[in-house]
Amino acid sequence: MNIVLLGPPGVGKGTVAAVLSHKLPHISTGNMLREAISKGTDLGKQAKGFVDSGKLVPDELVTKMVRERVSQPDCKAGFILDGYPRTSAQARALQEFAAVDAVLDFKAPFKTIVERISGRRTCRKCGATFHVKYSPPKKEGVCDKCGGELYQRSDEKPGIIAERLRVYEGQNKPLIDYYRNEELLSEIDASYNITEIGKIVKQCDAVLKVASRVISS
C-alpha cells in the first residue's frame, strides 16, 4: 500500500509515521533533503537556500529524489510518503510513477504547531531530537545519547515557522482538492499532544484498514 501523509510542518506526521512504519518504509523528504544538504551533494547544494529561508524546494528537484527512492527494493510492497507531494503538480507527477492508495491529512491549530516546532532541539553530532517541553534532555543543551551539542535549526525559529506555514497554506488547497476529487483523502485530528499519540494512530489505522479492503476487493 502506498500512503501519503499531508499536513503542515510540526503537525506530527513524522511521529505517527514512525509508529506506522513497522511494515512499510517511512520516506521523509524533509530528512532526505537535510541529509543531502549535510553531505553537500549536488541536490543538497541546490536545495539549501530554499530550506534555510522556509520556502519550498522546486518540484523537479524533490520529484527526482522521490522517484529514485521509491524505486528501491524496500518499497516494493509500498511506502509511507511524508512531505511529498506538497502541490497538485507534484501529486500528478507522483501518480506517473507510483499509484497512491490512501491520503491522510493531519490537522492541528496554528498555535499548537508553532509550539511543537519552536521547541525542537537537534543534536549536531548524532541528529537525535528533543523538545524543550515534551521531551527535554536530562541536561539542558546536551544530547542524552551522545553528549553532543543541541541546537535550534534555522528553519525552526518562530519567524521562519510562520513563513513555512504561510507557504504551506498557500499551496495546500489545490492539493487537498486534488486528492478529495480522487476520493483518497481522509482528515486526521492531530491536535493531541505526544502523550496521546495512540489516539492519532488509531484514526490512521481505521482509515488504512478501509483502504486495504478497497484495494483487495
Q: What is the pLDDT of residues 153-211, one digit of tens each?
A: 988 888 888 888 888 888 788 999 999 999 999 999 999 877 788 899 999 989 988 88
Give the amino acid at 119. G
pLDDT at 149 over 90: yes
Active-site positions read 13, 86, 120, 153, 164
pLDDT at 1 over 60: yes
Q: Please provide residue 91's backbone torsions phi and psi, each rounded to the nearest 5 degrees.
A: -60, -40
Asked whether 90 and 178 are in contact (CB, 8 A), the reply is no
Taking residues 8-16, what's their average pLDDT?
A: 86
CATH architecture of 2-110+158-216: 3-Layer(aba) Sandwich (3.40)
pLDDT, mean over the chain = 89
